[in-house]
Amino acid sequence: MSASEMSENRVGLRRQWSLCALMVLAAFLLCAATGTSFSSLFPSRLSFSQEAIVALGLSAIACLNAWLGYKLASKRPVAKHTIESYSRLDLRGWNPLLLAPAAGIGEEILFRGALQTLLGVWLSSALFVLAHTKAYRFNGLSRRVLLQAAGLFAVSLVLAAIAHFAGLVPAIIVHTVIDITGLYTVRHVIAQGLMPNNSSKPTPLRGAA
């Protein structure tokens, strides 16, 4: 497959933001079906300044944790598989900054907003993991699948706690920062030619830093 064909096959902004819109719509319909106000998903638990401080502080911690996690586990099969999974995204130019909010907004409104309110933390987190089955290629019960699923479940619990105690907006911001860090890490790995040797190795991104 040529580089141009691979570029065309990458998941881009339109698809990600369309998926975001569908998740927000699903949350809205769930609220309508249960007689819940959509605005109630955004309770004012803290003042604006407090939300900003919490969001920025937790985002900094999440960013550092994501980068250190990659550095410490970059040679492990789980980390390599995660990088391979996200290398299918179009990460050229400013795309990491534009792709990440789509997941942060859509997933938090649906899973931490509507579903967590309706089903509780544990079940909504389980659904969050299942929703990532295709992205992470969960195709069996291997050690790699179990570790990645456990990691996603743990992240969901952390975001659930943030949404519960600080509000949905801080959870959206933290989720977005985690994804931005992850996507730039993936782009760096691809640009430096650090992908594991396999037949699905993507073509290095032109202009990637």
Percent of the chain at pLDDT exceeding 90? 49
Domain ranges in the chain are 3-191
SS3 89: strand
Write the CB contacts of 51 (distance below 8 Å, at least 6 apart in sequence).
166, 167, 169, 170
Residues 125 and 131: their CA atoms lie apart, in Å, by 10
In angstroms, the first-to-last Cα distance of the chain is 24
SS3 11: strand
DSSP 36: -
Q: Which residues make beta-bridge pairs with 89? A: 11
Highest-pLDDT range among 136-140, 173-177, 189-193: 173-177
One-letter amino acid of 101 = P
pLDDT at 156 (0 to 100): 96
> What average pLDDT does the structure give for the chain?
84
pLDDT in tens, 84-113: 878 888 888 999 999 999 999 999 999 999
Residue appearing with tokens 């900094």? 60
